[in-house]
Amino acid sequence: MEYPPLRDYGLIGNDDSCALISRHGSIDWCCFPHLESSSVFARVLDAERGGHFAVSPAADYESNHRYLDRTNILETTFETADGQATVTDFMPLCNGGEPDGDRFQQAIYRCLECDRGRVELQIEFEPRFDYARTEPALERTDDGVMATGDGERLHLATDAPFARALEVTTSTTAAGTISLEAGQRCWCWVQYGGREPASAVDREYVLDETKRYWREWVGRRDGAPTTIPERWHEMVVRSELLLKLLIHHETGSIPAAATTSIPEAIGSDRTWDYRYNWIRDAKFTIQSLHDTGHKQEAREYFEWFSDIARTDPASITPVYGLHGESGDELEERTLEHLTGYRETGPVRIGNAAGPQQQLDIYGTIVQAVYETIQFDPATTITADEWGAIRDIVDYVCDHWNERDAGIWEFRNERRHFLHSKLLCWVALDRGIALAVENDLEAPLDAWRGDRDAVRETIETRGFSETAGSFVQHFKTETAIDATALLIPIYEFLPPEDERVQATIDTVLEQLATDDGLVVRFINSDIRRDEEKAFFLCSFWLVDALVLSNRLDRAREYFEHLLEHAIPLGLYSEKVDPKTGQLLGNFPQAFSHLGLINSATYLTRALECDGDVAPADFDPENVETLFRRGDSPEI
């Protein structure tokens, strides 16, 4: 079997887990009971061993897929010489009254319907528990097949008239053919953990309720979001839906992506497990949730990282499991028996970034707290919360001048990274703002002194006259890094500063393609030049151009970025600028956060139709993504 390109996949899910489904009707990735649990289908990581659950015509066919409007329900349409059939895939959401609580959500429903003519649909069911380390035993049941192994169970069932079509063809595989004529439909479903509750529910009702849930969520905005130009609106809504699908209902945490080990480049060993929450995502997440009007989710996410902040700052780690696991609990392991996507291994589970020192996380936390209060005046800082924030700022005062692993998590390398120093400055600056604006007790003189010291260090050691740009770390004159685009966005320097404009020009010349795709860095002494463009960095460039009043180019680049989404509106982490091939874990939350934030920036800067800049445009009138106080005392 050939590996489908990432652009051929759609994602369904609920707030517990997700499943990747190819345009050929195959579920090639799914983990139960949670997103970060071990897989039951993993063909995306090994075409032969990984396991899958496929439904497709027995005859030659053409196929395409789409999401039902304003939902995460996927429709795949198959066209054959004799007819047309549609497979509707979704995972149910527990919305208050369903039986068995969380187990209700540990299911996938597939509705097979013949639209015209006659179509024979083949079913292939090859579950492989625990990342295909366990081959389950399969047994026939009255309504389908039960897979069991190593304490796990997965039940496949169909409507009664079609159940006999399923046969156990080998000890680990079941298959069958279902013939449908125009107007006929058949339900198939899998339930993790046994037969119930999926076998006892009304599937038509569950489908209708799932549609209603997603559509009501999109429409349930707490406050009016910024008006997005119509031609961008659909992509923003799809990004909202993707983020909601990833948000874990128990904790409010958001994983970086739905998958593990999709390589950053075919043939590269840069394959990581992204099914965890990175603290640095907090500031982008808070911004995008508020800008799309989803204040409840923003509050829940705020509460999640606020709990993390109320610990010893030295014990705060860059990455956490969706249930709060950290450090050694996220031990990284390699699955030697899987070949990897397109035979590009290693396949990794867990993530070794947990124990790294990354100083940027402290600025992220303080910024996200400040941001939340700016967005939601009803949010107040308790004495306990302020004590935790004050401890974090004090920690930054003591440690800002240390080396760390940086935002790109270079393994076995510690440098004075510009981005890390910038976020240390953010921690001090927003900490001061919180104290002053909320009349909170703090050692302001000491904090201001350290803030000034960080600023001086960045300005004297972080800018290279040779490169004409802010650089990646303090010991280089040539390494250009896209994180320097964040300097005006964090309001460290104003957009019109000559060094900021020179940095943007250098990024355009050295990191960006002619149509605005941006690689993360070049000329670094740490790792060879990047060749694949990073979507989030490309959106950062749009934001920096908006603040620089280069609106025509910003809009041009943004609309080009929209063209790189798959037809379903989803993004991976990276793209090959030469071929358009998507790479990296998929779908990637960071990319969709960047899209929402850039759409918001452009909308603030342009007139409502998105075509021209207002005659009185001034970058100072465009609220930066990461707001800071403007009190003269700060």
pLDDT tens track for 158-211: 997 887 888 999 889 999 999 999 999 999 999 999 988 888 899 999 999 999
Six-digit token pair at 114? 């013949």
State whether 528 and 585 are in the same domain.
yes
Q: Residue 470 carries which DSSP code?
A: E
Question: Contact at 8 Å (CB) between 41 and 274?
Answer: no
Task: Output 623 or 501, whichever has higher pLDDT.
Answer: 501
Q: What angle do CA 578, 270, 533 make, to 5 degrees?
A: 30
Query: Of the candidates 198, 217, 236, which is a domain's last residue?
Result: 217
State whether 343 and 451 are in the same domain.
yes
State whether 181 and 199 are in the same domain.
yes
- Which residues have a Cβ under 8 Å from the Cβ of 179 and sit 6 or more positions away? 118, 119, 120, 121
User: Which whole number is the average pLDDT over 393-412?
Assistant: 95
Determine, yes or no, domain membership for 95: yes
Task: Output 633 or 455, whichever has higher pLDDT.
Answer: 455
What pLDDT score was predicted for residue 224? 46
Cβ atoms < 10 Å from Cβ of 194: 15
- Which residues have a Cβ under 8 Å from the Cβ of 524 and sit 6 or more positions away? 472, 476, 479, 481
Does 450 have pLDDT greater than 50?
yes
**SS3 sequence, 241-254?**
HHHHHHCCCCCCCC
Residue with tokens 């306990």: 384
Average pLDDT score over the chain: 91
Determine, yes or no, domain membership for 634: no
Does 396 have pLDDT greater than 90?
yes
User: Which whole number is the average pLDDT over 538-556?
Assistant: 95
d(CA 94, CA 113): 25
Does 263 have pLDDT greater than 90?
yes
User: Which whole number is the average pLDDT over 348-366?
Assistant: 93
State whether 340 and 236 are in the same domain.
yes
Range of the domain at 415: 221-621
State whether 177 and 234 are in the same domain.
no
What pLDDT score was predicted for residue 5? 97
Q: CATH no. for residue 57? A: 2.70.98.10
What pLDDT score was predicted for residue 608? 41
What pLDDT score was predicted for residue 255? 94
What pLDDT score was predicted for residue 208? 96
State whether 201 and 232 are in the same domain.
no
User: Which whole number is the average pLDDT over 452-466?
Assistant: 97
Determine, yes or no, domain membership for 627: no
Q: pTM to 2 decimals?
A: 0.94
Cα separation values, 380 from 89, 286, 322, 385, 386, Å: 42, 16, 25, 9, 10
The structural domain count of the chain equals 2
Determine, yes or no, domain membership for 88: yes
Determine, yes or no, domain membership for 449: yes
Burial of 312 (0-12, 13-18, 19+ CB in 10 A): exposed
User: Which whole number is the average pLDDT over 518-540?
Assistant: 95
Task: Output 615 or 252, whichever has higher pLDDT.
Answer: 252
Cis check for the bond before 197: say yes or no (omega within 30 of 0). yes
User: Which whole number is the average pLDDT over 73-86?
Assistant: 98
What pLDDT score was predicted for residue 599? 93
Does 18 have pLDDT greater than 50?
yes
Cα separation values, 115 from 78, 112, 206, 301, Å: 10, 10, 21, 43
pLDDT category of residue 610 using cuts at 50, 70 and 90: very low
State whether 204 and 226 are in the same domain.
no
State whether 481 and 393 are in the same domain.
yes
Q: CATH no. for residue 548? A: 1.50.10.10
Instruction: Express each pLDDT in 121-136 by its tens digit.
Output: 999 999 999 999 998 9
Determine, yes or no, domain membership for 628: no
Instruction: Express each pLDDT in 301-331 by its tens digit.
Output: 888 888 888 899 999 999 999 988 887 789 9
Instruction: Express each pLDDT in 80-102 by its tens digit.
Output: 999 999 999 999 997 555 556 67
d(CA 168, CA 521): 52
Cα separation values, 29 from 13, 14, 40, 148, 400, Å: 11, 15, 8, 18, 41
Determine, yes or no, domain membership for 175: yes
Determine, yes or no, domain membership for 631: no
Query: Of the candidates 188, 217, 246, which is a domain's last residue?
Result: 217
State whether 465 and 536 are in the same domain.
yes
State whether 183 and 253 are in the same domain.
no
State whether 284 and 407 are in the same domain.
yes
State whether 598 and 577 are in the same domain.
yes
Contacts 24+ apart (CB under 8 A), 36-39: 36/255, 36/275, 36/276, 36/321, 36/322, 38/129, 38/130, 38/131, 38/349, 39/128, 39/130, 39/131, 39/132
15 residue type, one letter: D
What pLDDT score was predicted for residue 627? 55
- CA 34, 38, 40, 42: dihedral to nearest 10 degrees? 110
Query: Of the candidates 171, 198, 217, which is a domain's last residue?
Result: 217
